[in-house]
Amino acid sequence: MIFMNKLFPRLYKKDIYDIDYRGLYNRGFRAILFDIDNTLTTHGTRADGSNVAFFKNLRDIGFKTCLISNNKEKRVLPFAKAVNSEYIYKANKPSKRGYIKAMELLEVKDTQTVFIGDQIFTDIWGANSAGVYSILVDPISPKEEIQIVLKRYLERIVLFFYKRALEKGRSND
């Protein structure tokens, strides 16, 4: 079960709009790291007006932001520019290297950092390994590459045990 805890998010929400960002800020968090594809937008889609407004709102609250993606720079850079965020590309998640690099870039500690993503075996595992507060959101779209679709079946098993642990009062939060 200890390995399972590395896969359990600290918080699980429907989407990025279902998260209390002011509450996180009031708890001492100062930076939010995001996955892009299927967390902020669908795979390969450019940032739109709602993404730009969302990131502006986070900055207005007081957050620093960084995108952490396993994708290439040609995918990540235009999105980061559009939302005015720092970014790390080819992060090789679940390696904690990208998370640590993002925290150094933003000049924050792990205890001040939140990561939000849609995949357990890359996003959440990596965030937890880096000591970052992890938030899992449901994927925006069911249309995904085959390797991700296959991982989603395994994620359902992890989510079953996560929800069971929550019911028994053993939440990670």
What does the alpha-carbon distance between residue 42 and residue 50 come to, in Å, rounded to a whole number? 13
Sorted by sequence, the CB contacts under 8 Å of residue 33 that are 6+ apart come out as 65, 66, 67, 68, 99, 102, 113, 114, 115, 116, 127, 132
What does the alpha-carbon distance between residue 168 and residue 158 come to, in Å, rounded to a whole number? 15
- Going by their DSSP bridges, the two strands 113-117 and 133-137 should be labelled as parallel
What is the average per-residue pLDDT within 85-112? 97
Tell me the C-alpha to C-alpha distance, in Å, between residue 14 and each of 73, 91, 116, 120, 135: 28, 25, 12, 14, 10
pLDDT at res. 154 = 75
Q: Which among 160, 109, 145 is positioned nearest to 4, based on CA atoms?
A: 160
**Domain spans of the chain, in order of start:** 2-167
Q: 2-167, which class in CATH?
A: alpha beta
Tracing tokens 């904690």 back to the chain, one arrives at: 96
Q: Residue 136 pLDDT more than 50?
A: yes
| Chain segment 15-48, per-residue pLDDT in tens | 999 999 999 999 999 999 999 999 999 888 999 9
| Chain segment 143-158, per-residue pLDDT in tens | 666 566 667 667 887 7
User: Residue 87 gets which letter from DSSP?
Assistant: E
**What does R_g of the chain's alpha carbons equal in angstroms?**
15
What does the alpha-carbon distance between residue 159 and residue 173 come to, in Å, rounded to a whole number? 15
